[in-house]
Structure 1
Amino acid sequence: MTARTLAAIHPAHRDDIGDLVTRRPVPGPGLEQVDPFLFLNHHGPQTYAPGNKGLPFGPHPHRGFETVTFILDGSLAHHDTGGHASIIETGGVQWMTAGAGLIHAEISPPAFKRDGGPMEILQLWVNLPGRLKMTAPAYTGLQADAIPVVPLPDDAGSVALVSGRFGDVEGPIRSLTGVMLSTVRLHSGAVVTLPAPKGRSVFLYVVAGTVAIGGRSVPHWHLATLRDDGDSVELTASDDAVLLYGHADPIGEPVVAHGPFVMNTRDEIGQAIRDYQAGLFNGTGPLPAV
């Protein structure tokens, strides 16, 4: 395999939401997207006291893309107007296809608000091509024990595979567009090679620790963009590290975003707003209890 070269290193910019510590590497200055990866919020790490108000993401709509939420620590309750509801704990993932339109809420469950505790969550927005933007909404919530963990050679660490293929293992989520997504944990001093098929966009965000690519350090809370000049990514872990790692075929279509809607044209954004106001995102009815 041939290693890709590092194109740039992008810091995650601090953008707290109330008392919720939030960092965002994309979009940011000089980086609108890593097509088809549109947006990443890194919430935490932080510890909530007992009797807290929990996460602030009450009911809100989406259309035209998918949200993938990694619960690195803590717990997260999801419910939406498609009739889906779940509470996912540490190590689990929520994958929601907004498609034609859903209203959902992502909040802390009652036990977390009562007792408090550590919390760290990543939410990634993955674009859909025009032909799939109005696909039927869907949701899958996976606890940690439903996500295969693939050990890396030489005790270098492991890959928790959510979607796509890694070696002989296939992730439990069947992505509509063939997206591979995982969290990677590396031990200090590990030297690893991760697959990055030619022609695919690579998403590599350092959640914790520091890694080196081509001799350059990429510290925690930074995203690395890579040139499409190889079919692998070679990493050296300077210390114990956690990565959000994935790859996907670029869509190559216009992106017009307006708040929670991501479409191809301004007219489609206008239609999304009108449909939402007309109650057409209500799916099967009110948000179910969690």
Structure 2
Amino acid sequence: MPAITVENPLALPRVPAPPADGPEAVTPRPVLAVSTAPSGFEGEGFPVRRAFAGINYRHLDPFIMMDQMGEVEYAPGEPKGTPWHPHRGFETVTYLLDGTFVHQDSAGGGGVINDGDTQWMTAGSGLLHIEAPPESLVMSGGLFHGLQLWVNLPKADKMQAPRYQDIGGGSVKLLTTPDGGALLRLIAGDLAGHEGPGVTHTPITMIHATVSPGAEVTLPWQQDFNGLAYVLTGRGSVGTDRRPVHTGQAAVFGEGGSLTVRADESQDAHTPDLEVVLLGGRPIREPMAHYGPFVMNSHAELAQAFDDFQAGRLGRIPAEKL
């Protein structure tokens, strides 16, 4: 899991922990629940963990779902992707940790994402897209590991024109904790005055943190955002009461102004650190109707999305591959 890393985290800007006492003290966020992601398959058959399965939407809003894709070591001929398919009404965020993926859409967006890169696609009023491994990876096989997050759009933005952002790993804002015990990759949003490169319609924060064994991370967290943590790999705990978590588990935080994650002192040889994704967003608090590749506000709008797709109004598959 290389993503983007540095030899000396102490050379990076540091995010101070919020004060725990005094007139400016903030309330730590309690852990409301911990859930384990079930496994399944997506697209043409690549393995996924459904990170937020079973979590009530009131705790997820504005996030809809998140899949951990892999981690899987493909043999030659095995790498798989998704066929052409439509989307409307939300944004897809694909963050790649290991491997290579090629994206192309009917609105002209597209590119190749590699280790540490993020592909941010605003489906908006609708488009068709495809995500697949390049032919070279299909021939050779290799390691593949990533995340796909779906972020809802408010009703006022659902029918805007599609947009594509190619966020190279080198543009991600790298930060650390006061003792250098964690590498924080800020992909989108604000953290203690630092801005991630992702441009979002719905205000969110997305961080990939690598926490060294025994290290603890306490970050300031916007009071009006929700708070979620998903463990990509490793063992640790969440909250000030150190609720245990491990690979494939998601934690839901309650209200407060700070969020705490800690790595166990002992980790597996295969996963020397705790790798965790931290997410927060301002809830939209609008009715949501979700079916398949469409996320709208009503069943009537879902039906219209299907009609528009079948009539070819969501775009046409380009004649040439990217």
TM-score range relative to shorter protein: over 0.9
**SS of the residue aligned with 2:304?**
helix
Residue 151 of structure 1 and its aligned partner are, at CA, apart by 2.1
Give the number of the structure whose alpha-carbon radius of gyration is greater: 2
After superposition, residues 47-66 of structure 1 pair within 5 angstroms as 47-52=73-78, 54-66=79-91
Instruction: Output one character per residue of 1:19-68: Cα deviation in whole Å (capped at 9) or x when no partner.
Output: 52211022x2353460011101111111111233x223110000000001
Report how far residue 197 of structure 1 moved: 1.2
The alpha-carbon deviation at position 81 of structure 1 amounts to 0.4
Report the identity percentage: 35
* Alignment coverage as a number of residue pairs: 286
Pick from 251, 270, 274 the counterpart of residue 241 of structure 1.
274
Conserved? CA contact 2:45–2:80, under 8 Å: no
Q: Deviations over 1:118-150 (max 9, x none)?
A: 001110101111111111100112221121211
Matched ranges for 1:1-290 at <5 A: 1-17=26-42, 19-26=45-52, 28-32=53-57, 34-52=60-78, 54-213=79-238, 214-228=241-255, 230-238=256-264, 239=267, 240-282=273-315, 286=318, 289-290=321-322
Q: Which runs of 5+ in 1 are unaligned?
A: none
Further displaced range: 169-178 or 84-93: 169-178
TM-score (norm 2): 0.85
Instruction: Answer whether contact 2:289 2:299 (CA < 8 A) is retained.
Output: yes
Q: 2:4 maps to what in 1? A: none
SS of the residue 1:275 aligns to: helix
Conserved 8 A contact 1:23-1:42: yes
Distance 2:45 2:282 in 1: 36
How many angstroms does 1:267 deviate by? Answer: 0.5
State the superposition RMSD in angstroms: 1.6
Gaps of 5+ in 2: 1-25, 268-272
Residues 83 and 287, structure 1, Cα contact 8 Å, conserved in 2: no
Distance change (3 Å), C-alpha of 1:183 and 1:168: same
Q: Between Structure 1 and Structure 2, which shows a larger proportion of strand residues?
A: 1
The secondary structure found in structure 1 opposite 2:199 is coil
Corresponding letter in the other structure for 2:318: P
